[in-house]
Amino acid sequence: MTNEFDRLVDIIKRLRAPNGCPWDRKQTLYSLKQNVIEEVFEFIDALDRKDIENIKEELGDMLLHVVFHAVIAQEEGLFSLNDVISCISEKLIRRHPHVFGDAEVDSVDEVLKNWDEIKKTEKHNKKEHYLDDVPKALPPIERAYKLQKKASKVGFDFNDADECFVKAEEEFDELKDALKTQDKNKIEHEMGDLLFSIINLSRFVDINPSESLRKASLRFENRFNCMEDKLKSSSVELEDANLKTMDEFWDECKKIK
């Protein structure tokens, strides 16, 4: 594996060389941000489909970005690939004292508690506010979930799922009132509050909101495709179909998708 890893590093260095690829040479440490995000979601999509070959390929694409960024950083004298590897190795050892030290734990909860306590002692992670280490670049659902989860660790939380449900109902009523005003800013505000409360509810019933929405979107896509196929079998183009016919086929597809 070492030989293959070294080969990847050499390939990227060659691409970045004066006689390499113009596109690769043009990239900076900050220009590939969107590409990294897209690769992560492509990897998640492969996981959802349990497509082993694609999972392997997407892991390679993510590894490419790790090495690519490290090579660029080394060119600029910021840090090296070895620094990156050393950093994560030391972090893993430091945050697993029950494996690499004398600490003892009896559960996953204790492991996570120790992880958070150790993280607090790491000087470079100290922030002005408690929630500052929840990345602002996270997708909105993931960020809301993490903000709520982190706040709950200091006791700022509902008591149970029933309280979350009541709050969601309150937010839904406030959204209905906002819709009557036709004030877009007010509607947006209340829509956000409702979504935030639904994410809170999902956390209390131990359902990952992103995973739940991802599966709902996949069901919608599969059923819509099924409906479209049924329309085509009836010699009806999607654009020409009326809502009644689409609803009938949709109901049929719900039974099988």
Q: What is the pLDDT of residues 1-30, one digit of tens each?
A: 679 999 999 999 999 999 999 999 999 999
Question: What is the predicted pLDDT for the residue at 228?
Answer: 94
Q: Are residues 188 and 134 in the same domain?
A: yes
Tally of domains in the chain: 4
Q: Which domain holds residue 40?
A: 2-88
Range in 105-119, 140-154, 158-172, 206-220 the model is least confident about: 105-119
Residue where a domain stops, chosen among 88, 114, 140: 88
Write down the mean pLDDT value for the chain.
92
Q: Are residues 63 and 137 in the same domain?
A: no
Q: Are residues 9 and 58 in the same domain?
A: yes
Q: Are residues 45 and 78 in the same domain?
A: yes
Q: Are residues 113 and 167 in the same domain?
A: no
Over the stretch 52-94, which tens digit does the pLDDT of each residue have?
999 999 999 999 999 999 999 999 999 999 999 999 999 999 9
Residue where a domain stops, chosen among 88, 113, 145: 88
Q: Are residues 41 and 61 in the same domain?
A: yes
> In 10 A of CB 161, how many CB atoms?
15
Positive or negative, the CA dihedral 78, 79, 84, 89 is negative
Q: Are residues 83 and 100 in the same domain?
A: no
Q: Are residues 17 and 59 in the same domain?
A: yes
Q: Return all residues near 22 (Cβ < 8 A) that are at least 6 apart.
A: none
Q: Are residues 102 and 139 in the same domain?
A: no
We report the CATH number of the domain holding residue 197 as: 1.10.287.1080
3-class state of residue 107 by DSSP? coil
Q: Running DSSP on this structure, what letter comes out for residue 130?
A: G
Exposed/middle/buried for residue 121 (C-beta within 10 Å: 0-12, 13-18, 19+): exposed
Long-range residue pairs from 71-75, CB within 8 A, at least 24 positions apart, any chain:
71/9, 71/12, 71/13, 71/16, 72/16, 72/27, 72/28, 72/29, 73/29, 75/16
Q: Are residues 150 and 177 in the same domain?
A: yes
Q: Return all residues near 242 (Cβ < 8 A) that are at least 6 apart.
A: none
Q: Return all residues near 114 (Cβ < 8 A) that are at least 6 apart.
A: 95, 97, 98, 103, 105
Q: Whole-angstrom Cα distance, residue 196 to residue 214?
A: 17
Decide if 214 contacts 225 (C-beta within 8 A). Answer: no
Q: Are residues 13 and 69 in the same domain?
A: yes
Over the stretch 110-126, which tens digit does the pLDDT of each residue have?
888 888 888 878 766 56
